[in-house]
Amino acid sequence: MVNRLPWSVVILACLTLGLAPFTPPHVWEKLQMLAAGTLTEPVDILDLLMHGAPWALLCAKVFFSLKAKP
């Protein structure tokens, strides 16, 4: 299923939703909060899931693309 998505769509999602707002990237702030143990508010957890989803999709696409090669 992941292999059916075009690379351009996945990369565009990472560059837009995955990095928005751009200064500093929101996903980076949420990952820092997660590492510090301060990611406790439901809205922050939802933010991490929403802004992290395109990156998780990119990782899955890379994994399955490399796995499919002989």
pLDDT tens per residue, range 10-26: 999 999 988 888 888 88
Does position 58 have pLDDT exceeding 70, yes or no? yes
pLDDT band at 41 (very low <50, low <70, confident <90, very high): very high
Res 70: pLDDT = 67
Beta-carbon count within 10 A of 49 CB = 11
Kindly state the average pLDDT of the residues 29-56: 93
What secondary structure letter does DSSP report for 3?
A: G
Q: Which residue has the tokens 């696409």?
A: 61
Give residue 9's pLDDT.
94
Nearest to 17 by CA among 43, 53, 45: 53
Residue 52 neighbours by CB under 8 Å, 6+ apart: 18, 27, 30, 31
Length of the chain: 70
Question: Which of 13-27, 34-48, 53-67 is predicted least confidently?
Answer: 13-27
